[in-house]
C-alpha cells in the first residue's frame, strides 16, 4: 500500500469528483499534509478511517493498493471465516486479503477480525491438521499469509499519537507461535497504544533487558506452548517480579494457560480473548 496519495487518486478510488474530495479535505474530514512543493497529499490510513466512519464504499480500491472489493460489506463473520479458510487451504492470499479488507472497510475493528474471524479460522486449521485433512505445509503457508495480512492491517491503522504509552510483548523461549502476539500488537495499536511485539521465542534474559531499557507502561505475554512447566513457571515468575518492581502491568493470555498453571503465576490480568483484554487496557490508557 502506498502511504501517501494524491487527491486525484483518492477521488478515482472513491468514484467522486476531485473537487468534492478537496472540499472534504478543507472541512477537515480527511486530514491532509502538504509536500515541500505545496501539493496536498492524503495518508492512506486517514482515507481508510474516513471511509469506515462514513460507511462509504470504494469504487476502485485497487487504486489505493487494496484488493478489489468482493462483496457489499454485509458479509457475516461466519461466512468470512469460511471464505478465508477456503482461501488459506489452497494458498490464495489475494482471496483471503479481499475478505479481510472487505470486513475492515465495512467498519469492523481489527479486534473483531482477530477474535471473531481469524482465531476461528486457525482453530479450524488446527482441527483439519489433527484429523489429517490438512497437510503441515498448508498450515504453515496459512500462517505466512495471515502474518502478512496482520502487517497490512497495521499499516492501515491511523498513526499512533506521539505521546501514546508504550506496550511491549511476545512469547517466551520455546514458544514459536507468532500469530497471537502479532494480533495483540495490532489490537493494542488500534486502541491507541504504541504497541510493539518483539515476536516469539525470546529468552528470559532479553525480556528482562527489554523491561529495564524500554520501561513500557504495559507488557503482555502470549502463551501457546510450554515444553517444561517447571522451567516455564520459574522463568515467568522472574520476569513477573521484575515487572512488579517497576510497576509495569503484565497481561497474559493464550491457549496454554489453564487454571492449574495460572494459579502458580503472578500477573495483573488474564483474558482468553482480545476483546476482553481491551476493556481492561482502555482503563490503563485513560488513567
Dihedral sign from CA coordinates of 132, 138, 144, 147: negative
Q: Which of 61, 170, 180, 249 binds ligand B12 (CB under 6 A)?
A: 180
Using CB atoms, what's the residue nearest to ligand B12? Answer: 253
C-alpha cell at 286: 485513560
Q: Any contact of residue 126 with ligand B12 (CB under 6 A)?
A: yes
x-marked contacts with ligand B12 along 224-243 as a string, rule CB under 6 A:
xx------------------
242 alpha-carbon distance from chain centroid:
27
C-alpha cell at 2: 502506498
Q: Any contact of residue 122 with ligand B12 (CB under 6 A)?
A: yes
Place of cell 498513526: 159
Residues in Cβ contact with 11 at an 8 Å cutoff, skipping those fewer than 6 apart: 17, 18, 20, 21
Query: What is d(CA 35, CA 39) in angstroms, rounded to the nearest whole number?
Result: 5
Exposed, middle or buried: residue 153 (CB in 10 Å: 0-12, 13-18, 19+)? buried
Query: What is d(CA 248, CA 199) in angstroms, rounded to the nearest whole number?
Result: 19
Site for ligand B12 in 65-104 (CB under 6 A): none
Q: Which of 25, 117, 156, 183 binds ligand B12 (CB under 6 A)?
A: 183
Q: Which stretch binds ligand B12 (CB under 6 A): 10-18, 104-112, 237-245, 268-276?
A: 268-276
Q: Any contact of residue 272 with ligand B12 (CB under 6 A)?
A: yes
Q: Which stretch binds ligand B12 (CB under 6 A): 33-41, 42-50, 148-156, 250-258?
A: 250-258
Sheet order of strands, 33-34 included: 4-5, 40-43, 33-34
Q: Which of 24, 50, 177, 267 binds ligand B12 (CB under 6 A)?
A: 177
Least distance between ligand B12 and beta carbon 6 (Å): 37
Q: Which stretch binds ligand B12 (CB under 6 A): 37-45, 89-97, 170-178, 229-237?
A: 170-178
Residue ranges in contact with ligand B12 by CB under 6 A: 114-115, 119, 122-123, 125-127, 129-130, 139, 143, 176-180, 183-184, 220, 222, 224-225, 251-255, 271-274, 277
Amino acid at each position: 500500500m502506498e502511504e501517501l496519495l494524491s487527491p486525484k487518486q483518492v477521488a478515482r478510488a472513491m468514484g467522486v469528483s476531485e473537487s468534492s474530495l478537496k472540499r472534504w479535505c478543507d472541512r477537515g474530514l480527511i486530514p491532509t499534509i502538504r509536500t515541500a512543493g505545496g501539493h496536498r497529499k492524503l495518508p492512506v490510513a486517514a482515507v481508510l478511517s474516513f471511509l469506515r466512519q462514513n460507511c462509504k464504499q470504494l469504487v476502485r480500491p485497487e487504486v489505493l493498493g487494496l484488493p478489489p472489493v468482493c462483496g457489499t460489506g454485509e458479509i457475516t463473520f461466519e461466512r468470512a471465516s469460511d471464505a478465508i479458510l477456503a482461501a488459506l487451504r489452497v494458498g490464495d492470499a489475494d482471496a483471503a486479503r479481499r475478505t479481510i479488507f472487505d470486513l475492515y472497510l465495512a467498519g469492523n475493528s481489527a479486534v473483531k477480525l482477530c477474535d471473531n474471524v481469524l482465531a476461528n479460522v486457525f482453530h479450524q486449521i488446527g482441527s483439519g491438521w489433527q484429523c489429517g485433512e490438512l497437510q503441515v505445509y498448508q498450515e504453515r503457508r496459512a500462517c505466512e499469509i495471515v502474518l502478512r495480512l496482520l502487517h497490512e492491517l497495521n499499516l492501515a491503522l491511523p498513526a499512533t499519537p506521539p505521546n501514546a504509552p508504550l506496550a511491549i510483548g511476545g512469547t517466551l523461549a520455546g514458544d514459536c507461535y507468532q500469530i497471537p502476539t502479532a494480533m495483540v500488537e495490532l489490537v493494542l495499536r488500534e486502541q491507541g497504544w504504541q504497541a510493539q511485539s518483539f515476536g516469539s521465542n525470546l529468552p528470559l534474559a532479553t525480556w528482562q533487558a527489554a523491561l529495564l531499557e524500554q520501561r513500557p507502561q504495559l507488557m503482555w505475554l502470549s502463551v501457546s506452548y510450554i515444553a517444561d512447566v517447571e522451567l516455564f513457571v520459574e522463568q515467568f515468575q522472574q520476569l513477573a517480579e521484575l515487572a512488579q518492581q517497576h510497576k509495569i502491568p503484565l497481561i497474559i493470555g493464550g491457549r496454554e494457560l489453564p487454571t492449574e498453571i495460572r494459579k502458580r503465576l503472578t500477573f495483573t490480568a488474564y483474558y482468553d480473548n482480545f476483546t476482553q483484554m481491551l476493556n481492561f487496557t482502555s482503563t490503563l490508557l485513560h488513567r
